[in-house]
Structure 1
């Protein structure tokens, strides 16, 4: 008797909805834009509007998933909006890093969601994540189109530890480095002067992290 083939239901894209997730505001987003396509929306007055939507994989670096303890991820998310789309539409094939923020409301219009520039500390956390979860997608030079009142995003290309200038030497500590610091150092992460909570966030990006 022939065994019937096994079929899988098609996967569904994760929903990208900042309005429904206020805990996202201020968090560090690593976005991999994969494509841009037009989509038609129905307005409340019955008319239709067509605007671009960006399809991307998204990692919220400093928002751990409660089930895994790893950074929250969204697969194949469709990103719309007058703030985010202009920041992402010309960055397909690259990595974009920034902190999610919301512009002030203008009259009756709600403020747009945008990405604010990342800091060196943000880049350090994202680099640790990318090194632990590499992607093979090619990088492209960014060609951002900033939105009025919105900061322009920066394309993010992680640097290998060998190319990161070492921090200035600190005075010799009275005690040796903690096991957590030793673990990160073994991964090539410079931990000198790093706070304990930041070290734990970076350690959470590694699957073999023993400090859960």
Structure 2
């Protein structure tokens, strides 16, 4: 925190220090992107906004999203699509958190409705659906539960893993049996979705039943039965 405050307080000199340390922002990783955001956010608008515009119009996704968050904080970006698009364009670590920071600058109801509408308009791109589920879970959007449940019951829906994890985050009690139903009918794509879902079930439950859906269901019926 002291580093952030010191660099921000230095104004133009602090900006130059930030540029040198990151080689003109070309080596800003998504892991330390939050630090860059906080430094620039604490600087005067006359410094922050031109830098944000510069970053937003660069080619690298990790630079664009930092610029986008700063512009959203200043009210220059108001639509959530830009953050979902940038998040889906990169597999780099930290992108999810930076996109969440962008969403947090926008109207909450607008963001939640936007993400839920993506699921309502399925089937669409697997990655967009997967990201939407992840963001809804992270944002604790309980209102999304009915639509996520519908998605998991839809045989054409493939983003099962993140839908399951979102329901778990949102404390939906029937998330596990829904996941087992998906395993039973088969998940057409991507190829590793079923395997990753099984691993997640094992982590969540502490059980090791692999792809044996029958054993999973027997265990669940016993585990979820109220104690007498």
TM-score by length of 2: 0.28
Higher helix share: 2
Higher strand share: 1
Indicate the structure whose relative CO is greater, using CA pairs within 8 Å and at least 6 residues apart. 1
